[in-house]
A and B are shown apart, each in its own frame.
Chain A
């Protein structure tokens, strides 16, 4: 039962092959049995999950179903859940039980989903390895000596290990796609503004975007149907109409023009990973797509641009954590200044502090033009690269990451080398585009992800391409040995 996709679970629940309570019990039991080796969950609320499942079963019995009735999901611990701890992977929010639900949480609730728990993540979503969590590193189900990627590493590991059929994630510079690639699952980062950011704890507000992580493109489409839409409470929420994302899954790829950015296939890409991607591209060609050589000339500048803009926005967003209104507060502050500085010293981890300091520097008097304004100008050049490509092609394709999962601790002492892990994913956030990572093979037993990048609001096309690819490959159906035990 634990290996079923969301689509299969929906069918099984409708046909009364099993109940939501049975599915939920099975997954809760698996989490209890297996998650000690992954650490993918921060909070599991079994009683609440089972109560939701029982209520879902009653609705199913009465025929009052909504799209995801009775489907268990896990939420990244960045989405505020009313009355349930929402830590954002930080000591700062270890004691924080929000007074309201994020819009995404409400949407899943309204669609009938059951919440298994909250998944582990890099602190405040700042990281590419899930090692910066206050709750400890998450381990990759394919090799527990390696990282799952980050920052949505807990969501990726939980889905890969069949502890949850699907999960939410957020992506500021690759945080859905990179862990999806390293854990062998399918993840979608929607267009900026497509999914509400209300109640999604802010890291970099002009880059952050929530999205689905699941075991197939079809499941991502089903989840996006629940998540997408305009939210008047999020001032950057897009008002573009929301299509039914499953409608075009079955379309033929005949005539599709796929651009291959040559900068994504140059030095720095692991050779074996590159071969997996080439094989995947041949599969798209076999389905009728045409491959076109294109260029994103400012690719090398995406890392420095991102590492000014994201920390600058983070330093502003994280100024709200002051030890006064909620979250951590230091003991016995001697004055207000001591309260602020010691609360923040104790509450934030090293990487978060580094980014706040870099961001504060980039925004400070005398440096603003040289850093922040400059980065915002280069950001436009980066976006224009994509605009030019999309005059010629329908989507772009390439690797999600330079190589497969690296070892725990391998890069954690070297922030800059960790930042370079995101070389193929950052530009998409800077340009606000939708993109996916789709399982496309293995290197030494570790998954490789194919990245697909689309035009603004063209999620349907990405899902269509990914689904057609998955109809003719079985990489997304592979399961790690470490998840073979446990209840089923």
Chain B
């Protein structure tokens, strides 16, 4: 499937990755090549075959709904780019 520049811009926006204008053509070309390669799958008759999400067909194991985690906020925030008073700092969201 060919993909155009507009679609790449849309996907990049969904993925929250900025792509510099100068790189857009190159990225579009590479992604198109990859999508053309994976398009081989469209020719396969998969009819009613059950999709396989886990190679052992295992299902999610559940545990009792009780607190098991210990509070490690300080250790986690020590490696954050910007924190203050126990909060993660980001640019202002609401004026």
Contact = CB atoms under 8 A, between A and B. Distances in A.
A195 B9 CA distance: 39
Interface stretch (A9-17, A140-148, A173-181, A336-344): A336-344
Given A304-B39, A379-B51, 15 more contacts: A207-B55, A300-B40, A304-B37, A308-B41, A325-B76, A327-B81, A341-B17, A345-B18, A354-B27, A356-B15, A357-B8, A357-B17, A358-B38, A373-B51, A380-B51
Interface residues of A, number: 71
A419 B41 contact: no
Interface residues of B, number: 51
A361 interface: yes
Contacts of A90: none
A353 interface: yes
B32 to A, nearest CB: 10
B31 A361 contact: yes
A308 B42 CA distance: 12
A383 B35 CA distance: 23
Contacts of B52: 376-377, 379-380, 383
Interface of B: 3, 7-8, 11-12, 14-20, 27, 30-31, 33-35, 37-42, 44, 46, 49-56, 58, 60-61, 63, 72, 75-76, 78-82, 88, 90-93
Given A301-B40, A341-B18, A371-B38, A238 B78 contact: no
A374 B54 contact: no
Given A308-B38, A357-B31, A235 B60 contact: yes
Given A334-B91, A361-B35, A415 B51 contact: no
Contacts of A415: 30, 33-34
Contacts of A353: 17, 19, 27
B79 A380 contact: no
A374 B31 contact: no
